[in-house]
Amino acid sequence: MSPNGIRVAFSRFFHRWGPGVGIFVTGSVALWIVLLIVLPQLAMFDASFRFNLPPAEIGGPRDLHTLSNYAALLLDGRGGINWLDLGVLGRTILAAVFVTILDLLLCYPIAFVLAHGTSGGRARLMVLGLIVPFWVNEILRAFAFRIIFGSSGVLNAVGLGLGLWAAPVDFIRQDVALYAGLTYTYLLLMIFPIYNAVEALDRNQIEAARDLGSPWWRVHWRIVIPVAKPGIASGATMVFMLTAGALAAPQILGGPSSLWFTQLIYQWFNEGGNWPRGSAYAVVLLLACILVTLLAMRVFKVRIGEIGR
């Protein structure tokens, strides 16, 4: 959205709700953004350029800026490249892309059916069926997935009972449980943006295309998806960012070889006690996610204003 568009939106909001409500809402949003987003990010960015000093030396003559925390991510200390940490970062980004694509493939049909395939009580029942399971805490859902996909879990019990496989399958070690858990966790963040976009589509356009003999895939490709593209972009952005920054699910559902980059950040902050190094790793993850998102927006020709609708 352009600055002029933002001004018009604020003007309409103030005109509709009055100056009192307008000032309260605007001030609350500004306070939220500054205190909980901007200032913490600036503090973390500044800390990433500091040495890991004892509290008594912070602010003293040794408290200088340095690039050593970022160099530690690139170099292993022996003159070589730190392939371990860089590999974890790359795998995390690729895994987040995979989960985002999987969520899109699952959620697009659900959002379309919810918008144009149901109405009245059935639509409300479907929405409740989607929302109610998420009343359960994320940690409990992750442990539930571990029980389902464990060696002696429900899935293995059913598979062995039906003779689908001869021995228990280790879904945890193969990261099946991790990807399933992450995909499920962010379903709603993909469904509702697409639903909001598709709901605005005139059903007569779909009916006209069907009457003219267009197959279902062409109707979606030429009519529905162009309308749903802002919702798809918004949902994909949220799912990708949150998946790349997930910690609980990788800790609980991840196998021995599925180290997540957020786990490295957690280790530097808490186990290593090196907040500057952890801050540098967090900044790198944030910048990597932003670059991937901007690249995807450029490839699919989506503007930032469309995502914010």
75 phi and psi angles, rounded to 5 deg: -120, 150
Contacts of 53 by beta carbon, 8 Å cutoff, 6+ apart? 60, 62, 63
For the stretch 111-125, pLDDT in tens is 999 988 777 778 888
In single-letter form, the type of residue at position 178 comes to L
Give the whole-angstrom CA distance, residue 73 versus residue 278.
10
For the stretch 25-70, pLDDT in tens is 888 989 999 999 999 999 999 999 999 998 888 888 888 899 999 9
Give the whole-angstrom CA distance, residue 130 versus residue 142.
17
Nearest to 260 by CA among 78, 88, 20: 88
Work out the average pLDDT over 218-230.
Answer: 90
Look at 121-130, 139-148, 262-271 and tell me which has the smallest mean pLDDT: 121-130
Helix (H) or strand (E) holding 115: helix 83-116
Nearest to 252 by CA among 168, 185, 155: 185
CATH topology for the 82-307 domain: MetI-like fold (1.10.3720)
H-only helix segments in the chain: 3-33, 39-47, 68-74, 83-116, 121-131, 138-149, 154-162, 176-185, 187-199, 203-211, 216-219, 225-244, 248-253, 261-266, 275-299, 304-307
Look at 6-10, 14-18, 128-132, 274-278 and tell me which has the smallest mean pLDDT: 6-10
Per-residue model confidence (pLDDT) at position 91: 95
Q: pLDDT category, 8, cuts 50, 70, 90?
A: low
Predicted confidence (pLDDT) at residue 127 exceeds the cutoff of 90: no
Per-residue model confidence (pLDDT) at position 26: 84
Work out the average pLDDT over 93-119.
Answer: 92
The DSSP bridge partners found for residue 50 are 65
242 phi and psi angles, rounded to 5 deg: -70, -35
Give the whole-angstrom CA distance, residue 98 versus residue 183.
9
Look at 65-69, 123-127, 244-248, 304-308 and tell me which has the smallest mean pLDDT: 304-308
Work out the average pLDDT over 134-139.
Answer: 89
Give the whole-angstrom CA distance, residue 183 versus residue 246.
12
Measured at the CA of 117, the angle between CA 116 and CA 122, to 5 degrees, comes to 115
Work out the average pLDDT over 163-168.
Answer: 90
The answer to whether 276 and 50 are in contact (CB under 8 A) is yes
Query: Is the pTM value of this prediction over 0.85?
Result: yes
Predicted confidence (pLDDT) at residue 1 exceeds the cutoff of 60: no
